[in-house]
């Protein structure tokens, strides 16, 4: 199930890539903060594939601004996706994931690095980390793992938008590996957490950031 909010073309491209590798997929539009839409997303997954084993919530919004200057409407919009959206998807996962399943949320390494202008974003992801650790304990005895991945600077559209080449180059030098992460770097971490090989990792926030503190 490839969920999307706006970019149907990108979702269909992902579906095509999955099909090209021999898999099956469908794209379904749903706002992760809308509890009825997310419940319908699970209903569709159960109808099409027989049940849900893994949920990866990578939906997120980013707004950069000093705390003193941030428009509170922007704050509310960011938190609706990052906090409420995580809570809604986690709620359905808690109710409907099958034994042996995995829930993977997304945080950010900025929770630890505390870069200026990331206050609202880091605050929302701090909430994600708290939910992750608590949900892992609430699902005791269900054989379901709950973890969060906290990427460092990663070359995605969300990260690159609004940054100059100089800013991107400076941030790329921050990790000891001296490069930006790639979406594939992060996908490998998520795939491990969702796999049988990663099933002993539970209730953790994994900072995939090239060695940033």
Whether residue 148 contacts residue 205, with contact meaning beta carbons closer than 8 Å, is answered with yes
Q: 83: Cβ–Cβ under 8 A, 6 or more apart, which residues?
A: 124, 127, 128
Catalytic residue selected from 4, 103, 118, 121: 121
Per domain, the residue ranges of the chain are 52-206
% of residues, the chain, pLDDT over 70:
100
pLDDT at 24: 96
* Architecture field, domain 52-206: 3-Layer(aba) Sandwich (3.40)
- Among 37, 76, 81, residue whose Cα is nearest residue 61: 81
Can you spell out the DSSP letters for 4-33? ESS-HHHHHHHHHHHHHTT----EEE--TT
Q: Which pLDDT belongs to residue 40?
A: 97
The mean predicted confidence, pLDDT, of the chain is 96
pTM value?
Answer: 0.94
- Cα–chain-centroid distance for residue 17? 20
| Mean of pLDDT values over 120-141 | 98
Residue-wise pLDDT tens digits, 149-182: 999 999 988 788 888 999 999 999 999 999 999 9
With 90 as the cut, is the pLDDT of residue 196 above it?
yes
Active site residue 103: no
């Amino acid at each position: 199930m490839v969920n999307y909010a706006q970019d149907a073309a990108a979702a269909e491209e992902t579906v095509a890539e999955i099909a090209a590798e021999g898999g099956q997929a469908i794209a379904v539009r749903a706002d992760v903060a809308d509890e009825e839409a997310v419940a319908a997303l699970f209903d569709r997954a159960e109808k099409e594939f027989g049940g849900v084993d893994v949920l990866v919530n990578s939906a997120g919004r980013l707004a950069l601004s000093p705390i003193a200057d941030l428009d509170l409407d922007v704050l509310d919009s960011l938190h609706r996706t990052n906090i409420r959206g995580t809570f809604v998807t986690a709620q359905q996962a808690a109710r409907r994931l099958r034994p042996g399943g995995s829930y993977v949320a997304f945080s950010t390494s900025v929770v630890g690095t505390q870069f200026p202008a990331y206050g609202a974003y880091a605050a929302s992801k701090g909430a994600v980390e708290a939910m992750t650790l608590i949900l892992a304990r609430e699902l005791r005895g269900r054989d379901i793992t709950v973890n969060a991945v906290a990427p460092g600077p990663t070359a995605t559209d969300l990260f690159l938008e609004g940054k100059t080449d100089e800013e991107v180059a400076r941030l790329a030098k921050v990790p000891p590996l001296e490069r930006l992460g790639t979406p594939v770097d992060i996908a490998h971490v998520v795939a491990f957490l969702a796999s049988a090989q990663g099933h002993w990792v539970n209730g953790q926030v994994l900072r995939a950031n090239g060695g940033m503190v």
